[in-house]
Structure 1
Amino acid sequence: MTLRPLRALAPLLVAACTVRAPPPAAPAPLPSPSAAPGQSAAAAPGQSAAAAPGQSAAAAPGQSAAAAAPRRPAWVERSNEHAKILLDVLARFSPERASALGVERADQEVSDLSPGVEGRLRAAYREAIAELEKRRAAEKDPAVAEDLQILLDAADRAVRGSELEERTRVTYVHATGLVFEGISTLLDDRIPPPRRATALARLRRYAGLEAGHAPIAEQARKRLDQELGKPGLLAPSRMEIERHLATNARVREGIGELFRKYGISGHEEPLAALNRQLEAYDAALRKDVLPKARTDFALPPPLYAYMLELHGVDIPPAELARLAHAAFDDLKAQMQKLSLPIAKARNLPSADYRDVIRALKKEQLVGEAIVPHYKERLAQIEEIIRKERLVTLPERPARIRLGTAAESAEMPAPRMRPPRLLDNQGEAGEFVLPLSLPGPSDQLRRIDDFTYAAASWTLTAHEARPGHELQFASLVERGVSLARAVFAENSANMEGWALYSEAILLPFMPPEGQLVSLQHRLVRAARGFLDPELQAGKITPAAARTFLEKEVVLSPPLSQSEVERYTFRAPGQATSYFYGFTRLMELRRETESMMGPRFDAQRFHDFVLAQGILPPKLLRKAVIERFVPAQPSP
């Protein structure tokens, strides 16, 4: 569990340089969500300079915002003015996340954990809701009115989430993780030097060395001490605290490494003070909190239902689990059929899909060979995308890099680090591969799920192109409104698109890549029933780990990380991959049925990306009402 203000603001948030052939002529721009039939949004910005490995692909020094940002339709500009109401709430109560989005005025600020912050947070939302409702009633433009409703829905979810959290569980703040997020947001290759310099002020405020700022670790401890004594509140889970205690020291080392990497002078004294405070907080967790921590992890059903809603899953947990079980069984049958010719071609002793995947995992990439391999794989995928007209690609290269040890300890999975969404100056997202997963033994530390050739096909499709990297590029480069890019954010859309991206590329992969791509889809189906069944007490964490290792062929550390995700890292979120993918596949089939020979996959995919991060119901509405009628006859 993390700080409640950060979690309450989650509805307001969305959370790789490569070698490639010279790009073709500029692709047609994606259509605006409200573009008239046959019209497009303003053209995307020109190609940015290709970055050398490890360097940022940010705009060149002196490049103006106008040169880096697309021209937006007038209705988008008006919508964005309304969105600033919620951006102000974000900057006030979650400045670290606001910085990540590009709200530069929040760069020096830090989260407030003082008493009464929850009430102040809800009051700010309610004030915002009142103003947005007035504007919604007066709005005549249908597109802007829809965006205003998106903003209202996001604020309402945040209020309900804050109330639920306050009524049900103790505020346990992962203080080291909060600090790492706040500092790494600013100390990043993609961030210009003037913004990086503000990390020192944020560091000093975390350490309580600036007037009006108590040390963040001391605030977190006081909140914890006060709420542990309140009757009726669930104590933090022992599993969560023990996990953080196991990795905090390495994450704190990573904070210092960032300051040294970017040459931020004057950081030594405040960092030393902060580290002492965070170490004291960890000592208090061991001594005073672990004895009171609960041995279970399940959320109260209303809170878990809210978490599903927050991530875009709008069906009951039992129905979700039923659909996921059926999909899991179907995927296993497909994988077994595909494993037979692979085993025969490779002279493997067993054709069982589990054994074939274990054999493929032995072809591990090591060290400096990993990133070049993924860059080459991305170039192959982009060639397929262009040849098969799957989706429109940006002109600029994508970015891929290995994560640092601290990043891998804090978030032990491949991921996309989004670019700033506000006033973007050419910054791009990054596909980050983890180094290893920390664990209590050398055996548990070894992970083989991401660094072998057959896996690079589906991982690159998911995290880079045509998945998350392309999705975030569309938000930045096509002029999508902030309401649709930020405040409609939900995992069902984001992760559903990324898993769908794997699926549309799968027919063009070699057999080994297809098998592992189906295995990754199998993981997502397993999440669809393991997450709710763990919360319902139908399966234990140990049994879930064993199931993932045996049936899904995940390594022990990745299986452990998966179970942590379902139990305390982000309950409910992991189900959104399967659910979002299922809904998007249903929408595609419905659209193809309605359009017949008029259906064009590239136009469909471009339109979907142009809508922003809409939940499944709103995305369907856009496709049926705007895309289908606008497409020409074949």
Structure 2
Amino acid sequence: MKILSLAIALALALPAPLWAQEAAPTATVERATPAWVATSNGYANALLETEAQFNPESVSERGLTQFDGLATDLGPDVDQRRRAALVKAKADLQAGLARERDPNVRQDLQIMIEAVDRRIEGIDLSQKYERNWTDAALRVFDGEQALLQEQIAAARRPKALERLQRYVGLWPQSTSIFDQARARYEDSKGAGKLEPTRLEVEQAIANAATYVDGVRKLYQKYPQPDSDAALAAFEQQATAYAEWLRAQVLPVSRTDPKLPPELYAYNLRQVGIDIAPELLIQRAQAAFMETRAAMQQLAPLVAKEKNLDARDYREVIRALKRDTIPNDQLEAEYRKVIDAIDPIIRREKIVDVPTRPMIMRLGTPAESAAQPAPHFRGAQLIGNTGEQGQFVLPLGNPAAGKEAMYDDFNYPSAAWTLSAHEGRPGHELQSASMIERGVSLARALFAGNSVNSEGWALYAEAEMVPYEPLDGQLIALQFRLMRAARAMLDPMLNLGLIDRPRAEKVLMEDVVLSKAMATQELDRYQFRSPGQAGSYFYGYSRIMELRMETELALGERFDRLAFNNFLLDQGRLPPKLLAEAVRTQFIPAHKAGAR
């Protein structure tokens, strides 16, 4: 069920919401919670509890610990039951909207109502178009890792065993998630419904053993008494499920990954892209050409500084990649760059940053199978007492083959822009701001989507470029070229305007990605999360448009530090609401303050 699985994946990828939190000891700025935020969060908590009936793992990961031991409901008629629960939740929110008068609470209620509408629409479209299939072993690994990690309080970790026992049917009155997934697939038969793609089924089969090993390693690191039976059951059931996928699902899987236009359009709206895919392609093509030209202008300067026998940007990047950082030194080398970035941010008055160090670590094999791209894993924001998010760097992409390793991130030039994006002033800072700036739950979660989160992170990259070494600047432009390629190739593939081999050629030859990274990109466009990849470019473009509008309105009164702090103060508002806040609050305040 691609729509719902995408919605869940996005929810897990975003930092958790703020509700009834304790003040974090690492906060840079401590602020009292306004009364309207407490009121808004009361409504949001009720909506979260509705979601917890069906996806308790995602709500638990946000910090609502009463759901720690519970597991996903894939049981009979789950879509109808979830839809009915959402309809009721919407009615409750509408009743609140009718009686609330505070404009901030009203805006948050409207945000939540729109979020519920999108979820209901997603259920309806999925039932219309798709067979409900689940990569159940991946779901188990994700659910277990959410509780068995360093940034989770030790007192919560024992609930991982209860969750695992529920996953495998050993908990009283529970049913194995693997049995539920099989039944759900069979029950969703229908003429013309889309089967899963062959590539994603093949990956689920190939990765099952990796997820089993990943869960075993979690229990070795965080031992739980009497876990042997559940671990053995998980291995047996995951192996049997992979064989069932091979025998029953793979033969009928589809080789053409294109989605029906109505389904793809929904995916774009779900991640926050509110323009037609054809217009997105057009804008991205122009940006691709401009960025490539800028890279070609910079490449000879980098070659001269590094004494490289190359002039074309492709040759220069390939030469820079040969300065490989060994795996056992990667964290230390990235730490040097990360530690150098914070003083630059403060010196140049880009945005306020906390004094505590951020966390960066390498991904495990199971994490790399589950999420083969560099990513930020947010900490809980409900009741956060100092837990931090983590910048996770994978070493390879299992889908590209056992020998296919990335060469895109393990050399010094790449560490600058990747650290700015996943760390500061990108995802890590935006995530921490959800705690430290007292953002309402509606604006931290229900307003959130890839356009505003990835748009901020790409904007953060751009803010850092002038202060990076020349080779770091070239790779920053390369990554920006990749984001333009995403916004161009994702819709082109899904609209049938380009085929996978040609798209791969663009990524490997023009963007200069490794085979493993190009495979990850194409899988992302075609089945991991169709439509999401364009959100980086689109979100960045909208922030840059708003920045230019603000600079023109304020002239010499424009204050970059104040502007960037104001953006973080708004949480994860989508572009239209963010622009409204800047126009009605930031610009008037700074015009008045300058008199």
Q: Same fold judged by TM-score > 0.5?
A: yes
State yes or no: 1:367 paired with 2:327.
Answer: yes
- For this pair of structures, how many residues does the alignment match? 588
CA offset at residue 542 of structure 1?
1.8
- The answer to whether structure 1 residue 426 and structure 2 residue 369 are counterparts is no
Q: Which residue matches 1:573?
A: 532
TM-aligned CA distance change 1:274 to 1:14, over 3 Å: closer
Q: Which amino acid aligns with 1:81?
A: G
Change (3 A) 1:48 1:140: closer
- Secondary structure class of the residue paired with 2:250: helix
Instruction: Confirm whether residue 242 of structure 1 aligns to residue 202 of structure 2.
Output: yes
CA contact (8 A) 2:94 2:113 kept: yes
- TM-score normalised according to structure 1 size: 0.90
Which residue of 548, 556, 571 corresponds with 2:507?
Answer: 548
Partner of 1:488: 447
Contact conserved, 1:69 with 1:425, CA < 8 A, in 2?
no
Alignment-derived partner of residue 417 in structure 2: 458
- Of 295, 299, 302, the match for 2:262: 302
Q: Which residue of 2 aligns with 1:588?
A: 547
Counterpart of 1:382 (choices 342, 347, 351) is 342
User: Which residue is equivalent to 2:487?
Assistant: 528
Which residue in 1 is equivalent to 2:426?
A: 467
Residue in 1 aligned with 2:569?
A: 610
Does the CA-based 8 Å contact 1:9-1:158 persist in structure 2?
no
Cα pair 2:400 2:515 within 8 Å, conserved: no
| Superposition deviation, residue 242 in structure 1 | 0.9
Using the alignment, how far apart are the partners of 1:301 and 1:364 within structure 2?
43
* 1:493 and 1:614 in contact (8 A); partners too: yes
Q: Give the Cα separation in 2 of the matches to 1:83 and 1:338.
A: 48
* TM-score between both structures, scaled by the size of structure 2: 0.96
Q: Is the 8 A contact 1:377 1:456 kept in 2?
A: yes
Taking the TM superposition and a 5 Å limit, the aligned residue runs for 1:204-283 are: 204-227=165-188, 229-283=189-243
Which residue number in structure 1 is paired with residue 43 of structure 2? 82
Match of 1:510 in 2: 469
Q: How far did residue 435 of structure 1 move?
A: 2.2
Per-residue CA distance 1:491-520 (angstroms, 9 max, x = gap): 000000000001010011111000000000
Match in the other structure for 1:133: 94
Partners of 2:568 and 2:347 in 1: how far apart?
Answer: 19
CA contact (8 A) 1:421 1:476 kept: yes
Q: Displacement, 1:48?
A: 7.7
Cα distance in structure 2, aligned partners of 1:575 and 1:581: 10
Alignment of structure 1 residues 304-343 onto 2, 5 Å: 304-343=264-303
CA RMSD of aligned residues (A): 1.9
> 1:579 deviation in Å?
0.2
Task: Spell out, residue by residue over 1:91-124, the C-alpha distance to the aligned partner (whole angstroms, 9 max, x if none).
Answer: 1111111111111111111111112110111111
Tell me the CA shift for residue 375 of structure 1. 1.2
Q: Deviation per CA, 1:581-604, whole angstroms, max 9, x where unpaired?
A: 000000000000011111100100
What's the CA shift string for 1:21-70, capped at 9, x where partnerless? xxxxxxxxxxx9xxxxxxxxx99754489xxxxxxxxxxxxxxxxxx986
Answer whether contact 2:395 2:405 (CA < 8 A) is retained. no
CA shift for structure 1 position 85: 1.8
Sort the Cα spacing of 1:439 and 1:129 in 2 relative to 1 into closer, same or farther, 3 A.
Answer: closer
Mean CA deviation greater in 315-324 or 424-433: 424-433
SS at match of 1:266: coil
Paired residue type of 2:522: V
AA in 1 matched with 2:186: D
Residue in 2 that maps onto 1:395: 355
Q: Which moved more, 1:98-107 or 1:453-462?
A: 98-107
Map residues 52-131 of structure 1 onto 2, 5 A cutoff: 71-131=32-92
Structure-2 separation of matches of 1:501 and 1:567: 27
- SS of 1:432's partner is strand
The letter for the 2-side match of 1:245 is I
Q: Return closer, same or farther for 1:48/1:588 CA change in 2, 3 Å cut-off.
A: closer
Q: Is the 8 A contact 2:459 2:540 kept in 1?
A: yes
Deviation at 1:11, TM superposition (A): 7.5
Alpha-carbon distance between aligned partners in 2 of 1:123 and 1:567, rounded to the nearest angstrom: 30
- Residue 407 of structure 2 corresponds to 448
Alignment of 1:598 onto 2:546: no
Query: Retained in 2: the 8 A contact 1:358–1:553?
Result: yes
User: Could you tell me how far apart the structure 1 residues matched to 2:307 and 2:12 are?
Assistant: 49
Partners of 1:166 and 1:462 in 2: how far apart? 36
- Equivalent AA in structure 1 for residue 340 of structure 2: Q
* Conservation of the 8 A alpha-carbon contact between 1:180 and 1:251: yes
The more displaced of 247-256 and 153-162 is 247-256
Q: Percent identity?
A: 46
Q: Which residue of the partner structure matches residue 122 of structure 2? A: 161
| Pick aligned residue for 2:581 from 622, 629, 632 | 622
> Retained in 1: the 8 A contact 2:133–2:181?
yes
Residue 194 in structure 1 maps to residue 155 in structure 2: yes
Q: State the alpha-carbon separation in 2 of the partners of residues 145 and 442 from structure 1.
A: 52
TM superposition shift of 1:402 = 1.0
CA distance in structure 1 between the aligned counterparts of 2:84 and 2:346, rounded to whole angstroms = 50
Amino acid at match of 1:570: S
Letter of the 2:176 counterpart: P
Q: Equivalent of 2:478, from 504, 519, 525? A: 519
- Answer yes or no: is 1:180 the counterpart of 2:144: no
**How far apart are the structure 2 equivalents of 1:505 and 1:12?**
28
Could you say if the C-alpha distance between residues 114 and 45 of structure 1 is closer, same or farther in structure 2, counting changes exceeding 3 Å? closer
1:69/1:476 contact within 8 Å kept: no
Report if the CA contact (8 A) 1:11-1:154 is conserved: no
Whether contact under 8 Å (2:413, 2:472) holds in the other structure is yes
CA contact (8 A) 1:236 1:293 kept: yes
Per-residue deviation at 1:275? Answer: 1.5
TM-aligned CA deviation for residue 349 of structure 1: 2.5
Distance across 1 between alignment mates of 2:31 and 2:377: 21
Equivalent residue, structure 2, for 1:557: 516
1:292 pairs with one of 215, 237, 252:
252
- 1:125-157 per-residue CA deviation (whole Å, 9 max, x = no partner) reads 110111111111111111111011111111111
Q: Secondary structure at the match of 1:208?
A: coil
Encode CA deviations 1:170-203: one digit per residue, 9 max, x unaligned. Answer: 0110101110111000001011112101001000
Q: What is the SS of the residue equivalent to 2:157?
A: helix
Contact 2:367 2:394 in 1 (8 A): yes
Q: In terms of mean alpha carbon deviation, does 238-247 or 505-514 score higher?
A: 238-247
Question: Residue 345 and residue 91 in structure 1: after superposition, are their counterparts in 2 closer, same or farther (change >3 A)?
Answer: same
Q: Tell me how far 1:442 sits from its aligned partner.
A: 4.9
Structure 2: distance between partners of 1:446 and 1:357: 17
Q: Whole-Å Cα distance in 2 between the matches of residues 415 and 12 of structure 1?
A: 14
Query: Quick check: 178-187 or 208-217, which moved more?
Result: 208-217
The 5 A counterparts of 1:344-363 are 344-363=304-323
